[in-house]
Amino acid sequence: MLDIKPFLFKVNDVHYLYDDCTGIVLPLNNNEYNFIESLDEKSDLDKMQVEEELCVLIKKIKKYGLFVRRKEHNDLQYSEAGVKDYICKEGIKHMCLILTDDCNFRCKYCIFSDHYKFSKHYSDRKMSFDVAKKAVDYYFDMNSVSWTYNPYLQPSIGFYGGEPLLCWDMIVGVVEYVKEKAKDCVFSITTNGYLLDKEKILYMLNNRFSISISLDGSQGEHDRNRVDRAGKGTFQKVYSNIKLLENETRRMKQQGEEPLPYNILITYDNLTKLDEVDGFFRENPWLQDRIVNINKVNAQNTDYYDTQSDNSMIVSRRSQLDNLFEEHLINIKDAKENKFLETLFNGFTSNCANRVCYHENELRGICIPGSHKLAVDVIGNFHICEKINPNYSIGDVWGGLDFKKIAEYISDVLLIFNEKCKSCNIRNVCNMCYVNLEGDGKFTFNDSLCAEVKDSMAASFGLYYSILLNKKEDRESVF
């Protein structure tokens, strides 16, 4: 009997199967495909009477143990003591200070907007230095224990908002305070870039900042969504400030210094003309190398897409993607670089490429809250990350991490996984996390999102293996 139904995908006109239990991928001819498609969890391969060709396939399935789970996790629980021990030893890799709920922009897709059901909204609240100081103290106190077990743990503190540059004096105050504790700490900031100037840029570059700036491509695409409080486009000012940052970065490198690289973040939706965005970055090759993330506007718990969901728009975007991906395959063949296309392509294929493993992935897409990242809101509450809504606190700067609550969150989500995903044929590569399951304080499974993830994963596998098959040297070794 099979534990899971085979997961099938296509590359051009060829069918393949992916086995979630072993990570193995096999090509299938039409006869084999029809046979595999007919299998389910009730199928008994030992009792099947099939033709000789399919007997060979069945022997492969048995030899490699396909579609049979190695270990079940129905009783898997993370205890309060176990979670505390793990975080104390592994350390907190990154602390994110959410300095303000205010912003000088009113981006139409922002999670602070009225489009998102469970998220907080804009306010004039700002973090006090007392809260920031307590957060920093806790971060270093926790990691002072961790460094015994994890000596290569790099202190890392980020500034987030709203728009963190509205709190420039606070940023400087925190950096100077941290420098008294650790000289090797790296800093990061995620900003809309509008308030950058030479003084701020030099301070950040001289203090090991990784600066991430949102730029959605051409002026038309950027200004369609990224507007100020008066509803006016922001492209010209942001683009000018990025040029200033680029010039200062180059000047420092020419003087023998090594500032951390800055990053460009791109967001798109159903209306985005991706070919136009690609054209913009071709015309600005100095920006191409800075692209690190291209993300689609979050579609969960929102009505944002209500006016962008007609079929013609979706078909148009898919057509654009098909054309861009085809061009990317040609670029790879000809050894040509295009960072925009590469990053866009990787965003669609990273799920299957990076998450395939050869053992049971018990946590699926979730982390141990408080270890990978610790987000601190303006009033000092701890959260799993900056993306989750405020209903899921895991402690605060005064009492520290609530290990009991963390253990409860993990157990709650794993209970959902074990109930809903027991027979799922992509659970080891699924990247559903707390944010995908969030609500008003209780984690809940989203069936429609699950269906979308499966469709997306089939497309991701197809794209990923089309890359491998376009490399002549890999054609005989992929499988």
Task: Give percent of the chain above pLDDT 70.
Answer: 94
Cβ(87)–Cβ(371) below 8 Å: yes
pLDDT surpassing 50 at residue 275: yes
Long-range contacts of 4-7 (CB under 8 A, 24+ apart): 4/41, 4/67, 4/69, 4/423, 4/424, 4/425, 5/39, 5/40, 5/41, 5/67, 5/423, 5/425, 6/36, 6/37, 6/39, 6/66, 6/67, 6/425, 7/425, 7/426, 7/457, 7/458
d(CA 370, CA 388): 13
State mean pLDDT over 89-116.
95
Please determine, for residue 296, whether its predicted confidence score (pLDDT) is greater than 70: yes
Spell out the domain ranges in the chain: 1-70, 80-313
Least confident of 204-213, 378-387, 447-456: 447-456
Model confidence band, residue 12 (pLDDT cutoffs 50, 70, 90): confident
Which string of DSSP letters, residue by residue, matches 377-389? -TTSEEES-SSS-
**pLDDT of amino acid 358:** 53
Interval 363-415: pLDDT, tens: 778 899 999 999 999 999 999 999 999 999 999 999 999 999 999 999 999 99
Could you say which of 2.60.40.790, 3.40.720.10, 3.20.20.70, 2.40.50.140 is the CATH number of the domain covering 80-313?
3.20.20.70
Q: What rounded mean pLDDT belongs to the chain? A: 90
Give the per-residue pLDDT at 459: 85
Mean predicted confidence (pLDDT) in 41-60:
87
Within a 10 A sphere around the Cβ of 6, how many other Cβ atoms? Answer: 23
What would the mean pLDDT of 219-242 be, rounded to a whole number? 98
Q: CA 436, CA 68: separation in Å to the nearest integer?
A: 27
pLDDT bracket for residue 477 (50, 70, 90)? very low
